[in-house]
Amino acid sequence: MPRELQIQVAPEVAAQQHLLTEHVAKLMQVSPDEINHIAIVKRSIDARQKAVKINLKLAVYWKETYTETTIPLPDYKDVSNSKEVIVVGAGPAGLFAALQLIELGIKPIVIERGKDVQERRRDLKAINREHIVDEDSNYCFGEGGAGTYSDGKLYTRSKKRGDVDRILKLFVAFGAADNIMVEAHPHIGTNKLPKIIKSMREKIIEFGGEVLFDTRVTDILVKNNEIEGVVTQNNDVINAKKIILATGHSARDVFELLDRKKIFIEAKPFALGVRAEHPQTLIDSIQYSCDFRGDYLPPAPYSIVKQVNGRGMYSFCMCPGGVIAPCATSPGEVVTNGWSPSKRDQATANSGIVVELKLEDFKPFAKFGALAGMEFQKSIEQKAWHLAGETQRVPAQRMIDFTQSKVSADIPKTSYVPGTTSVELGQVFPVFITEVMRQGFVDFGKSMRGYLTNDAILHAPESRTSSPVRIPRDPYTLEHLQIKGLYPCGEGAGYAGGIISAAIDGEKCAIKCAEEFK
């Protein structure tokens, strides 16, 4: 058995194999030549002190022979002639549900309103360069879901939800770098995810599943409170007794469909705010307490939470060395999100800075019932679109100017490609959100010296943090409380909050479907 060690070393030692081997050999009081291999099991950064250290959990092969292994794919079965389950949505919840169904001998029919990962690129270019929003193919809709072209973070706090390592291993088996098994905050990167997602789709098809792109579900067929199938935008009927509904948090038309059909849904609190962009060098200097990060430390992230006026205000989806992207899903609205390439090598850092909302905040939209939160969200996105000039430009303001209710005289070019318009952001949000954010940024600046600066640009709004709707389900069967055979799943249904937790939830729903078939 290899010897396990937990050590803390300087970044340059962690980054260079020969230095790490020398360090470990000295600790073990052996010659470096006696060490056959050092496998890094876990890696994290400790930046609490001025001298930043790297925490490493190691498996040291000393006297043992090291044999390199690869992570295999599961033993998938040919399901061409098997019982069928419709999976609506090809995001992480839908894709992992489909793969799990195949593993269990069931045929998935994956229905995706958007395009495949390659074709999506044209529509992303159109929204960035031409301000054209395709309602079915954008940063939120299309193969792989929102995570494919908006970062690919694999970190989750939801360890109790299921087997995180299983999901990470599946990503590696489909082509992700194996360092995602090691890092404390694993990240694939928007530039790497499309190839992995394509491999998953090809595997689904290879083993008899179906994947339908450019196919939007416009109706769900129900008889005697039991699922019978779906209708698509071309009036095609696809029959099945089970549907895994994994549409993501921005599929407003699906929420409206359920509401029209009196399939029970409920409003859910979420969070909303802005996306703040700083120079990455500034965040590095704050987090690493240094003038220059050096060659052996990654671009620094940050995480911060404050309580202001009885509400939480916190960083969300922080993207070191990343860019801000336009994530509207309909014309007449603007939405921001952030992403990083795998190397996180862009000049700026950005993060959503959002304010906790409560159900009572949606009272002005009470006439919309369960869709009140969605309409609240929509109203802010539409107001921002109007204030910024009715294109995909977004309202923007320098951070200190925002805290002082002062329109910024100028907005420098930011990473947000469609562009910005100088707006006093208090016009975008209700007063209670504006007041929390103004005070919150001042409080942030006290915790992170240098964070509160006019070199930071706020972009509005960051509004798609999670679903504004929950689709209730039985905690054991995972079926909808009212409709047998309907499995609300993932972020859109209110049961996940990121790629990993959505993938886990997709697998859980697939397993419950399989149990019902037995």
**Residue type at position 157:** R
Task: Say yes or no: 261 and 112 in one domain.
Answer: yes
Residue 440 included in any domain: yes
Backbone angles phi, psi at 212, to 5 degrees: -110, 115
Provide the token pair at 221. Answer: 């067929």
What pLDDT is recorded for position 398?
Answer: 98
What pLDDT is recorded for position 99?
Answer: 98
What's the average model confidence in pLDDT over 287-313? 94
Residue 275 included in any domain: yes
Alpha carbon distance 423, 388 (integer Å): 7
Taking only the tens place, the pLDDT of each residue in 147-194 is: 777 666 776 665 555 789 999 999 999 999 999 999 988 888 778 889
* Total tally of structural domains belonging to the chain: 3
pTM of the predicted structure, to 2 decimals: 0.95
Whether pLDDT at 95 is above 90: yes
What pLDDT is recorded for position 154?
Answer: 77
Task: Say yes or no: 241 and 212 in one domain.
Answer: yes
CA-to-CA separations, 241 to 77, 430, 515, in angstroms, rounded: 21, 44, 14
Residue 70 included in any domain: no
Q: What's the CATH code of the domain at 48? A: 3.30.1660
Residue 487, beta-bridge partner list: 244
Residue 180 included in any domain: yes
Burial track 74-90 (b if 16+ CB lie within 10 A, e otherwise):
eebeebeebbbbbbbbb
Do the beta carbons of residue 106 and residue 517 sit within 8 Å? yes
Task: Say yes or no: 362 and 335 in one domain.
Answer: yes
Alpha carbon distance 319, 316 (integer Å): 9
Residue 76 included in any domain: no
| Final residue of a structural domain among 462, 483, 499 | 462
Task: Say yes or no: 433 and 495 in one domain.
Answer: no
Residue numbers of the domain that contains 255: 84-267+467-517
Alpha carbon distance 76, 102 (integer Å): 6
Residue 507 included in any domain: yes
Secondary structure letter of residue 69 according to DSSP:
-
What's the average model confidence in pLDDT over 60-69? 89
Task: Say yes or no: 400 and 492 in one domain.
Answer: no
CB within 8 Å of 225: residues ≥ 6 apart:
482, 483, 484
CB within 8 Å of 487: residues ≥ 6 apart:
242, 243, 244, 245, 473, 478, 479, 480, 509, 512, 513
Task: Say yes or no: 360 and 433 in one domain.
Answer: yes
What's the average model confidence in pLDDT over 313-322? 95
Task: Say yes or no: 174 and 140 in one domain.
Answer: yes
Alpha carbon distance 258, 481 (integer Å): 13
Task: Say yes or no: 230 and 334 in one domain.
Answer: no
Residue 48 included in any domain: yes
What pLDDT is recorded for position 78?
Answer: 98
Residue 247 included in any domain: yes
When the pLDDT of each residue in the chain is averaged and rounded to a whole number, the result is: 95
**Least confident range of 10-24, 60-74, 91-105, 396-410:** 60-74
What pLDDT is recorded for position 64?
Answer: 85
Do the beta carbons of residue 209 and residue 108 sit within 8 Å? yes
Query: In the β-sheet with 226-232, what is the strand arrangement from edge to edge?
Result: 217-223, 226-232, 237-239
Task: Say yes or no: 291 and 331 in one domain.
Answer: yes
Task: Say yes or no: 382 and 487 in one domain.
Answer: no
Q: What's the CATH code of the domain at 247? A: 3.50.50.60
What pLDDT is recorded for position 151?
Answer: 62
What pLDDT is recorded for position 360?
Answer: 98
What's the average model confidence in pLDDT over 39-55? 93
- Angle in degrees, CA 505, 510, 513, rounded to 5: 130
Task: Say yes or no: 502 and 359 in one domain.
Answer: no
Do the beta carbons of residue 337 and residue 139 sit within 8 Å? yes
Task: Say yes or no: 263 and 281 in one domain.
Answer: no
